[in-house]
Chain A
Amino acid sequence: MLKAMLGEAWLAMGANRLRTALTMLGMVIGVGAVVIMMAIGQGAQYAVQQTISTMGSNLFIVLSGSFTASGVRSGSAGAPSLSVADGEAIAELDGVGNVAPTHQGTRQLVYGAQNWSSQVIGTTPSYLETRAWNIVNGAGFGDSDVRSATRVAVIGKTVAENLFGAEDPVGKTMRIQQNPFLVIGVLGSKGQNLDGRDQDDTVIIPLSTAQRKVFGTPFLGSVRMIMVQADSAEAMPKVMDSVTSLLRQRHRLRDGMPDDFFMRNLSAAAESEAETTRTMSILLGAIASISLLVGGIGIMNIMLVSVTERTREIGIRMAIGARQKDILSQFLLEAVMISFAGCLLGLLIGLGVALGINVFTGMVIVISGSAALIAFAVAAGVGIFFGWYPAQKAAQLDPIEALRYQ
């Protein structure tokens, strides 16, 4: 029965090829648009997620406050209000994972005849853990290096390429601010951050070494910035609150006095970025869905015309014993077949175009099986939804009227 009906639906589709093709075109464009838009949207989301994951998750930073001298205010982190001891106290708080005090600045690096300006970060070993950064060559420094302010450095990939070229940097000695540093490790690549800055253009050295030999500091033990990682995204607001009250207490600030430090939520910025791309991808999908809807309406339109045109045929079928459900399923099947064929074609064309965009523009494209499945389900749904009314109309025809129809 089903096979016979499929054959008939095929015949009916073949009876007016141009019309069937045009009807299918609506679905092809609709499904194609959905596939392309989803590929682009998910690609953008993927790209943002990649960037975020290089930064580390659930992060916020505490910056030392500004100071005012003769009416001139320094920027943030101008006053030496934070100390390494503050960092150690923060690490004791509930919900806090890693804490890494940092002191950073840009310095000229020299190795042999080469020199290169790069960001130098003085910090503790937990910094790498906080940023989820691994070492691909050599090793990192330990707490003992921080305590004894040894002159060792871990360098980023960009630094390694520019300063050492093809040489293996590990074991070589380079100079920062005239001080010789032993390169003990090379970091894995992280690429650009959300601002577009190259994260691999970095040298990481022990905090104490940085303060004493590279940047210098007015008060030993003070630090410009502390990076704090919460255990979970949910714990972030609570941790930030408790850090604020802890620091106010440690700095002996009375009620009404302003904070002598700043806090910035890094993850929030990243998450809002992710939210933006997610919204964009939903928007793209929604716009593409409209074309799918229009394609569905096209199917409905043609099926209505087809029912009117074939009124007499319906009458004949009824006269020789077709039940209402036979007529209904015949027209429904036709609508679903057009919809499915259009969907399949749209899927192929959509994938082709998405791959083309990837190849020619280098845009990140994510093609997921679930997107294809959704497109198929939607196509079947569209076929049934928009085919239902015309099929119902056909099935409800009065056999006598239908037979008399010219």
Chain B
Amino acid sequence: MTESVIRVVGLGKSYETAAGLFPALKGVNLDIQPGEFVAIMGPSGSGKSTFMNLLGCLDTPTMGDFFLAGKNVAHMDKDALAILRNRTLGFVFQGFNLLPRMTLQDNVALPLVYAGVDKEMRRARARELLGKVGLGQYAESLPSRISGGQQQRVAIARALVNAPRLILADEPTGNLDSHTSEEIMRLFGELNAEGITIVLVTHEQEIAAHAKRQVKFLDGEIVSDLATDSLPFMAQRAGIPLGKGRAGDGMGAIGADAETHPLAEATKQPTKPPGNGGQVSAYPSLPLVPGDAAPAGHKEGGVPC
């Protein structure tokens, strides 16, 4: 068996609040193998944002261990975490988070500055990746000159610039219309096909359906962990009633299903071998419900504090 990209053992995080210690994450276990494409789902306050922050080495857990590419990062100091974020991970955010005063090329090259790469190399690498996401002609433009979908592509290029084995995406399509979302997800699909492990947080079933594995959070625990192709297609579709699924205020029918699912509490490995995207490729052709086009009220509250 290959070394897990992510192995989480009893990982927990509690916050000090006025009402006492609040456990945002209650000791979860999860194993993600190289080449997987995992969607993390769950309602607001379910602990998924906390989990993503821990995976992204932005935060340190209060209990448990987190092995990133075999190294336990649970007790690393801030600088070591910064180096991991720089070399081992790529981040994609909901709000794109490009620096507005820098050209796209400089934005993409920024992680290389912190990695100490010289200027010519930075330029060449940034050009290469902008070309890869189809925006090579905008290298000298400022982020404000391009559309949201294009900005997200630039953000993905930036995440890829240090050739990480893992991309973490937090609601990467949250600010995009459905058509652009599909494009971005297709890009993630292509990257995954190249062997890059992708973990993304999303609200939307359509987006999660692009992943090969779906992990659901509720109240700081993993309540379901299933390979996407094991989910009955029709039940999945039926489980997203218009309006309810959009509001993000519940887990929908799937969540309800999952709670009664025999595998609900397990942190079971997906049954599908990594890299096989055959089933996944069927999903982008899913007919989209017109009401999906402009998702609103999406911002995750994250951890209550």
Interface residues of A (CB under 8 A from B): 1, 3-5, 11-12, 15, 312-313, 316-326, 399-400, 403-404
Interface residues of B in 39-90 (CB under 8 A from A): 53, 56, 58-59, 78-79, 82-83, 85-87
- Given the interface contacts A15-B101, A404-B302, does A318 sit within 8 Å of B53 by beta carbon? no
Residue of B nearest to A402 (CB): B58
B294 in contact (CB, < 8 A)? no
B291 in contact (CB, < 8 A)? no
A316 to B115, Cβ gap below 8 A? no
B244 in contact (CB, < 8 A)? no
Q: How far is the CA of A1 from the CA of B112 in the complex (A)?
A: 10
Query: Which residues of chain A are near B111, meaning CB under 8 Å?
Result: 320-321
Q: How far is the CA of A325 from the CA of B116 in the complex (A)?
A: 13
Query: Which residues of chain B are near A322, meaning CB under 8 Å?
Result: 82, 86, 114
Query: Which residues of chain B are near A404, meaning CB under 8 Å?
Result: 302
- Given the interface contacts A3-B119, A11-B101, does A321 sit within 8 Å of B87 by beta carbon? yes
Q: How far is the CA of A319 from the CA of B91 in the complex (A)?
A: 7
Query: Which residues of chain A are near B99, meaning CB under 8 Å?
Result: 313, 316-317
A320 to B158, Cβ gap below 8 A? yes
B37 in contact (CB, < 8 A)? no
CB distance from B93 to the nearest CB of A (A): 7
CB distance from A300 to the nearest CB of B (A): 23
B235 in contact (CB, < 8 A)? no
B101 to A318, Cβ gap below 8 A? no
Query: Which residues of chain A are near B97, meaning CB under 8 Å?
Result: 312, 316, 319, 403
Q: How far is the CA of A15 from the CA of B100 in the complex (A)?
A: 10
B256 in contact (CB, < 8 A)? no
B59 to A400, Cβ gap below 8 A? yes
- Given the interface contacts A320-B91, A321-B85, does A326 sit within 8 Å of B114 by beta carbon? yes
B124 in contact (CB, < 8 A)? no
Interface residues of B (CB under 8 A from A): 53, 56, 58-59, 78-79, 82-83, 85-87, 91, 93, 97, 99, 101-102, 110-111, 113-116, 119, 158, 162, 302
- Given the interface contacts A4-B119, A15-B101, A403-B97, does A320 sit within 8 Å of B110 by beta carbon? yes
Query: Which residues of chain B are near A1, meaning CB under 8 Å?
Result: 113, 116
CB distance from B36 to the nearest CB of A (A): 22
A4 to B113, Cβ gap below 8 A? yes
Q: How far is the CA of A324 from the CA of B116 in the complex (A)?
A: 15
Q: How far is the CA of A399 from the CA of B79 in the complex (A)?
A: 12
CB distance from A320 to the nearest CB of B (A): 5
- Given the interface contacts A3-B119, A15-B101, A403-B93, does A319 sit within 8 Å of B302 by beta carbon? no
CB distance from A292 to the nearest CB of B (A): 30
A400 to B87, Cβ gap below 8 A? no
Residue of A nearest to B85 (CB): A321
- Given the interface contacts A1-B116, A400-B53, does A323 sit within 8 Å of B87 by beta carbon? no
Q: Is the interface of A mostly helix, strand, loop or mixed?
A: helix
Interchain CB contact (< 8 A) of A317 among B83, B110, B116:
B110
Query: Which residues of chain B are near A4, meaning CB under 8 Å?
Result: 113, 119
CB distance from A401 to the nearest CB of B (A): 10
Residue of A nearest to B170 (CB): A403
CB distance from A325 to the nearest CB of B (A): 8
- Given the interface contacts A316-B99, A399-B58, A400-B58, does A321 sit within 8 Å of B86 by beta carbon? yes
Q: How far is the CA of A399 from the CA of B56 in the complex (A)?
A: 11
Q: How far is the CA of A400 from the CA of B81 in the complex (A)?
A: 13
Q: Which residue, of A312, A316, A325, has the highest number of chain B Cβ atoms within 10 A?
A: A316
Q: Which residue, of B56, B86, B87, has the highest number of chain A Cβ atoms within 10 A?
A: B86
Query: Which residues of chain A are near B87, meaning CB under 8 Å?
Result: 321
Residue of B nearest to A310 (CB): B99
Q: How far is the CA of A324 from the CA of B79 in the complex (A)?
A: 7
Q: How far is the CA of A320 from the CA of B87 in the complex (A)?
A: 9
Q: How far is the CA of A317 from the CA of B107 in the complex (A)?
A: 10
CB distance from B54 to the nearest CB of A (A): 10
A321 to B114, Cβ gap below 8 A? yes
Q: How far is the CA of A320 from the CA of B168 in the complex (A)?
A: 11
Residue of A nearest to B162 (CB): A321
CB distance from B53 to the nearest CB of A (A): 5
Q: How far is the CA of A1 from the CA of B122 in the complex (A)?
A: 11
Having A317-B99, A400-B58, A403-B97, one finds 8 other A-B pairs with CB under 8 Å, namely A4-B113, A4-B119, A312-B97, A318-B58, A319-B58, A320-B114, A324-B79, A403-B93
CB distance from A391 to the nearest CB of B (A): 16
A-B contacts, 30 listed (Cβ < 8 Å): A1-B116, A3-B119, A4-B113, A4-B119, A5-B113, A11-B101, A11-B102, A15-B101, A313-B99, A316-B97, A317-B110, A318-B58, A318-B82, A318-B85, A320-B86, A320-B91, A320-B111, A320-B114, A322-B82, A323-B79, A323-B83, A324-B78, A324-B79, A324-B82, A326-B82, A400-B53, A400-B58, A403-B58, A403-B97, A404-B302
Q: How far is the CA of A404 from the CA of B95 in the complex (A)?
A: 10
Residue of B nearest to A312 (CB): B97
CB distance from B144 to the nearest CB of A (A): 13
Residue of A nearest to B82 (CB): A323
Q: How far is the CA of A338 from the CA of B168 in the complex (A)?
A: 38
B113 to A319, Cβ gap below 8 A? no
